[in-house]
Amino acid sequence: MADIVDSATRSRMMSRIRGRDTLPELLVRRYLHAAGLRFRTNARKLPGSPDIVLPRYRTVVFIHGCFWHRHAECRFATTPATKTEFWNGKFSANVSRDLRVRGELEALGWNVLTVWECQLASELALDEIFWKIVGGWTASAADISSG
């Protein structure tokens, strides 16, 4: 299936996708701040510049978009019909970088929490993020469950 907009329009649309301060990030940050947690954002000194860094809890939070980071079995993790080789290469590079960064952070002693964009529709997911941060969890349980 061909793209429904011309290449100049598509280019303009894609250039407006931001890498930080996205709506899902702002939602999580507002919730955590209202819950009394204090944090830093996009700490460049840490591998992968985590979206949220909570030094007190030795925890970092990545808020991933389902499309860009390939959330498994998510309806938003679609592959464009045109230039599939390009997109598959881009997506696999993103996924491998995410795994590498996670390993580096865990090796430095950080707990790594991954939050998926599609899971933020539920207020319960925000509560789960909070309790995983303050409640002491292990890295093996580092993803927010679907629900």
Tell me the CATH number at 101: 3.40.960.10
**Residue 104 lies inside a defined structural domain of this protein:** yes
pLDDT, tens digit, 9 for 90 and up, residues 67-110: 889 998 898 888 888 888 998 999 999 999 999 999 999 999 99
Lowest mean pLDDT among 1-15, 16-30, 39-53: 1-15
Percent residues over pLDDT 70 in the chain: 88
Alpha helices in 2-112 (DSSP H): 7-15, 23-34, 66-69, 84-107
Lowest mean pLDDT among 7-11, 34-38, 75-79, 131-135: 7-11
- Strands 59-64, 40-41: pairing is unpaired
pLDDT at 9: 85
pLDDT above 50: residue 141: no
Q: What domain range includes position 131? A: 18-141
Q: Is 111 exposed, middle or buried (0-12, 13-18, 19+ CB in 10 A)?
A: buried
**Residue 5 lies inside a defined structural domain of this protein:** no
**Residue 29 lies inside a defined structural domain of this protein:** yes
Q: Is 113 exposed, middle or buried (0-12, 13-18, 19+ CB in 10 A)?
A: buried
Residue bearing the bigger pLDDT, 36 or 135: 36
**Residue 74 lies inside a defined structural domain of this protein:** yes
Which residue in the block uniquely carries the two structure tokens 């790594």?
112
Of residues 122, 112, 117, 125, the one with CA closest to residue 57: 112
Q: Quote the number of domains for the chain.
A: 1
